[in-house]
Amino acid sequence: MTKKVDSSEQERKRTDIPPARTQAESDALIKRLDDLVALSDTPILEGIQVFKNKHGAYMRRNYGRFMDQFEMFFACMTDYAHNVNYFDKSHWPTNRGLQFIIMTFSLKQLHSSYDLLVSGVYEDAITLIRSAYESFLRMVFISCHPECPANAYYSPGQVGARFNATNFVRDELGLSWTAYSITSAFAHSNMYKVMGEAIGIGWNKSSKPVNLDYELDKDMIELTVNFIDFLLDAYLMAYDQLFTIDISSHKSRDKLQPHIDKLKSYAAICHESLKGHKANIYWREVAVDVEYIFTLIKTMDKDPELTWKDEWAKIKPSGVTT
């Protein structure tokens, strides 16, 4: 039997790897770098910050209502998530704790995507939106597959159903949600921008120089705002309908109830906003699909022995194509 060689042992056997620097060499290298920094010229960084500041001001003027609403909803979710830790959750189904961790940890990505949008860094905002969207789908997957909740994340040697965002939404749930494919175009090495630029230069013989580019893009703002609104709806519904707490025996229940009621009202009005989207029927369709998904989650949580695809066929109205 061949002995398994770890990476450190393999490294020691290589002859092309130099030895670690001595302290004197490290001190000399640090000095050289410090000297270069002292003489460096970095106006581009000031320019980027100026752009971000101007873009933030533009967002406040033109999308101030969206910003205020996001901050209100986000603050409510983070406060509620913190408080959940200290109240009775014995009524939660077996896998609800894992779902709560997934969604709550993703709040940071949701806020970062908002922060990047306000700063005008749209592509990176959408990349983080993709991750927060995946977290929501992983939560749904766990309720559909209570027998293998850990399979929401890949690890070697898994047995049973495996999570794949595209297949889960398109092939299993049968939903025509394009969010994942669109966000993937930005998450995969910024494919959307790269290919668009390459086509312009190569096929259309554009003479536009290739530079690090920061510029206002109203279409990208609208796209990102819609994605964030969708995630706010899905996350608020999760906290309101799934991550519930029992305060019936708590001595301060009268003071706590208004906070729970506030979350419920926020979830309701956020969903109402998405479901009545004025500009695009796609988001109205998605809002209805989200309702079906939460019905599926609660159905499976009540009886994990059910077959989720059978229940899904009952929940989604027959003859409705999505």
The tally of CA atoms less than 13 A away on the side-chain side of residue 4 is 1
Half-sphere exposure of 320 (CA within 13 A, CB side): 17
Burial string for 154-187 (b: 16+ CB within 10 Å, else e) reads eeeeeeebbbebeebbbeebebebebbebbbbbb
Q: Tokens at residue 13, please?
A: 């056997």
Residue 16 maps to a domain: no
Question: Cα(102)–Cα(98) distance, rounded to whole angstroms?
Answer: 6
Q: Is 35 part of any domain? A: no
CA dihedral 70, 224, 268, 248 (to 10 degrees): -60
Share the mean pLDDT of the chain. 88
Is 139 inside a domain boundary?
A: yes
- pLDDT per residue over 229-241, tens digit each? 999 999 999 999 9
Assess if residue 320 is contained within a domain.
Answer: no
> Residue 62 pLDDT > 60, yes or no?
yes
Q: Does residue 3 surpass a pLDDT of 90?
A: no
**CA-to-CA separations, 119 to 179, 295, 305, in angstroms, rounded:** 22, 37, 47
In this model, does residue 101 exceed pLDDT 50?
A: yes
Q: 76 or 321: which carries more pLDDT confidence?
A: 76
- pTM to 2 decimal places: 0.85
Residue 317 confidence class, pLDDT cut points 50, 70, 90:
confident
8 assigned to some structural domain = no
Rounded Cα distance between 88 and 298, Å, is 19
Predicted confidence (pLDDT) per residue in 135-167, tens digit: 999 999 999 999 999 999 998 888 999 999 989
Average of per-residue pLDDT across 201-220: 75
Instruction: Kindly state whether residue 70 falls inside one of the protein's structural domains.
Output: yes
Alpha-carbon Rg for the chain, nearest whole angstrom, is: 25
- Asked if 168 contacts 183 with a C-beta cutoff of 8 angstroms, the reply is no
Number of domains in the chain: 1
Give domain status of residue 36, yes or no. Answer: no
Cβ proximity of 263 and 240 under 8 Å? yes
Percent of the chain with pLDDT over 70: 85
- Closest C-alpha among 75, 92, 112, 140 to residue 289: 140
Q: How much is the pLDDT for 114?
A: 98
Distance of CA 222 to the CA centre of its chain: 17
- Which segment of 12-21, 275-284, 301-310 scores lowest on mean pLDDT? 12-21
Q: What pLDDT was estimated at residue 251?
A: 80
| Percent of the chain clearing pLDDT 90 (strictly above) | 70
With respect to residue 106, please indicate whether it lies within any of the assigned structural domains: yes
Dihedral over Cα of 134, 139, 145, 151: its sign: positive
Residue scoring higher pLDDT (220 or 200): 220
Residue 208 φ then ψ, to 5°: -65, 130
Tell how far CA 311 is from the center of its chain. Answer: 27
90, 93, 94, 100 alpha-carbon torsion, rounded to 10°: -90
- Residue-range definition of the domain harbouring residue 220: 46-315
Question: Residue 92: its pLDDT value, please?
Answer: 96
What token pair was written down for 260?
């729970």
**Mean pLDDT value across residues 39-68:** 97
pLDDT band at 104 (very low <50, low <70, confident <90, very high): very high
Give the residue carrying structure tokens 């190569």.
202
DSSP 246: B
In the prediction, which pLDDT does 189 show? 47
Q: If pLDDT is split at 50, 70 and 90, which confidence band does 250 have?
A: confident
pLDDT at position 252 over 60: yes
